[in-house]
Amino acid sequence: MIAHFVSFLKNESGATAIEYGLIAAGISVAIIAVVAGLGSDLNSNFTSVQTALE
């Protein structure tokens, strides 16, 4: 019984899946931040073009 418990504690196969999940979440947050920043810049540019065309 103790041997099974020790092998359970030494098992790290789930740790890599959690690490990959955290990396994917971090990349997703970075992409969302960049797209949000570019979106406001593009909105500003299109507004200035619309104003110039009127």
Q: Give the pLDDT confidence score for residue 26 in this predicted structure.
A: 96
Q: What is the pLDDT of residue 41?
A: 85
Q: What is the pLDDT along the chain (54 residues), one digit of tens a residue?
A: 888 888 877 777 777 788 899 999 999 999 999 998 888 888 889 999 999 997
Q: Structure tokens of 1?
A: 């019984």
Query: What local confidence, expressed as pLDDT, does residue 9 receive?
Result: 76
pLDDT of 52 reads: 92
d(C-alpha 1, C-alpha 11), whole Å: 16
3-class secondary-structure state, position 1: coil
